[in-house]
Amino acid sequence: MEQKNRDIKTVMHAVKRRTLTVKRVELVTSRIKRITFTGEDLHDFISLSPDDHIKAFFPYPGESEPVLPVMGPNGLEPSADGRKPIMRDYTPKRIDTAARELDIEFVLHGDGPGSQWAQNVSVGQTLTIGGPRGSRVVPYNFDWYLMIGDESALPSFARRLQELPQDSFAVVVIETEDPSQKIDLPHNGKAEIHWLYRNGRPAGQVEELKLKIASLPIFEGDYFAWIALEKACAMQIKDLLITIRGAREEWIKAGGYWSATHEH
């Protein structure tokens, strides 16, 4: 039997700062806002993986312009006036370099500079972004794929499902607030999608997800797992997959998309 090459490759990109203009604003759900940006700087934007992230820079309260880092020989460095930039990470949901368009989806959770900026955004406003700095490219030749996350993971998971090939199989477990936050997730291959609802329970708790993962059927073959949710929860889910679901650590990407210990 031929051994498949399942090496995960890291591709680094030139770090570039881009100031983009809001072209369209769309509510995907009451808690998710899709913003389409445009600008000539997008002509050479590269995003090779749905795991990629850009950094978005937001103004301090009461100010109209963000504090921006300086581009140094090793990439982004502290700002010229010594103040720390206010920045958050976001997934490039869709990129069309020919049309000079970039879609980013924001979770409207009330707190935090990114959420507040997106809550009040209007067409014509600008946003400065940096990156992606690199892409971690997972081959699409595993027997199946597992994705576990919350609202913050939806842009990445939605893009991943659309990029997986026709003969792929994916199992997706997503926790969100309630059924009104459920969205369509188009996919090319076969996908089994499970929605869990907090229904008022605070975000950042892991027990319901653990129970769901433990109850999933055993699927044959090698799999790659993406875990994207609250930081501490992501690490617990990773340990659970290794302990009871036969996962190999090198075939797991576990990321804390936000932290319960501070605003996100």
Kind and range of the H or E run holding 161: helix 154-163
What is the reported pLDDT for 76? 64
Task: Determine how many CB atoms are found less than 10 A away from the CB of residue 207.
Answer: 10
User: Radius of gyration over alpha carbons of the chain, in Å?
Assistant: 19
Q: What is the pLDDT of residues 135-151, one digit of tens each?
A: 999 999 999 999 999 99
Contact 237, 244 (CB under 8 A): no
**Cα separations in angstroms, 70 against 98, 107, 137, 176, 190:** 28, 28, 28, 37, 45
pTM summary value:
0.93
**Cα separations in angstroms, 132 against 55, 127, 136, 225:** 8, 15, 11, 22
Please give the domain boundaries of the chain with CATH numbers for all domains. Answer: 10-134 (2.40.30.10), 140-258 (3.40.50.80)
Give the whole-number percent of the chain exceeding pLDDT 90. 86
What is the reported pLDDT for 263? 45
